[in-house]
Each structure stands twice: as C-alpha cells, then as structure tokens.
Amino acid sequence: MPDVLDISQVQSGTLIVDDSGPHCFKSELAIKRFQEHQDILFTEGGVLKSPQPISEVRYLPHHWEKSLNSKQIIEEFVKPNPFEITGCVFSSVLSSVKNLKPTVGLVQLHESVKHYETLISLGFQAANLHCENYVLPDEAISHFRERFGH
C-alpha cells in the first residue's frame, strides 16, 4: 500500500528500507525531513551495486513515444546509475551461475549463503542509500551514525 507510513510520525534514529512500489511512504517528505534534520535514514531495498557498469537495452513502443514528453521518457527509461541493478532482475542471471539453483518460495539457509557468497566473490555490494533519484550524501549518513549509532 502506498503512503501507509507517515514520515512525520517516525521516531528519530529510524532506518527505513522499502522494497515496495509505490513506496510505503511519501518520498518527498522523507527527503525533506532528512535534509532538514538528518534524523532518519531511508533507502530502496533490493538494489545491488555491480563492480562494472551494466548496460541495458530498453524498448519504447512508438505509440508510447508519442504520448510521453521528453521528461517522462527520461524518468522512465534512462537508468540513473549504470552500476546498480535490482535483485529481482539480477536473480535470473545469478541462478545461471554454476552450483546455484533457482529458488521459489521459502529459501533454505544454505542456498541463501551460497547466493550471498557468490555475489561477494563477483564483487557485488549493497547500493548506496537512495530513494528514486535521490542519493543520501555520505557526509549526512556519517552524521546520522554519530548521533544514533550504537
């Protein structure tokens, strides 16, 4: 459900990881609060950072091209960070790697560990904290850690 989490009610020191679309909170309110108070952190979950840029081929049907303006086309079809890929897209590629089985439903711990270790060996990391096209600055994240880290 979109916007079920009221950002104004979230306690200071909270970290939000949202892997839903649309987001469970209003992105613009979270960004504003972060910029003004730096008392929450938030990010989209399920995104990996590749050690190499990942190219994509995207198709825009001609009838869509006529109905979208250039700003909408850029927002929908231009990838802001070529080093990032969503886990749901990358999982099919990862499952083709030797010794990794595709998984459906609940995943056994040993299979999860194998997938994780493979990601690490391939040089993948967690993506930078971000929400839509906004990337939380490292300096502000460090400030949050100083205030709320345990």
| Contacts of residue 8, Cβ cutoff 8 Å, sequence gap at least 6 | 29, 33
The pLDDT score that the predictor gives to residue 79 is: 72
Contact 144, 41 (CB under 8 A): yes
Query: pTM of the entire structure?
Result: 0.79
The upper half-sphere exposure of residue 137, i.e. CA atoms within 13 Å in the direction of its Cβ, equals 7
The pLDDT score that the predictor gives to residue 129 is: 95
Q: What is the pLDDT of residues 75-99, one digit of tens each?
A: 777 777 899 998 888 888 888 877 7
**What does the pLDDT average to over 11-35?**
94
Contact 12, 40 (CB under 8 A): yes
> Which has the closest alpha carbon to 23: 6, 3, 43?
3
Q: What is the pLDDT of residues 35-62, one digit of tens each?
A: 999 999 999 998 999 999 998 887 888 8
Domains of the chain, residue spans: 1-45+129-150
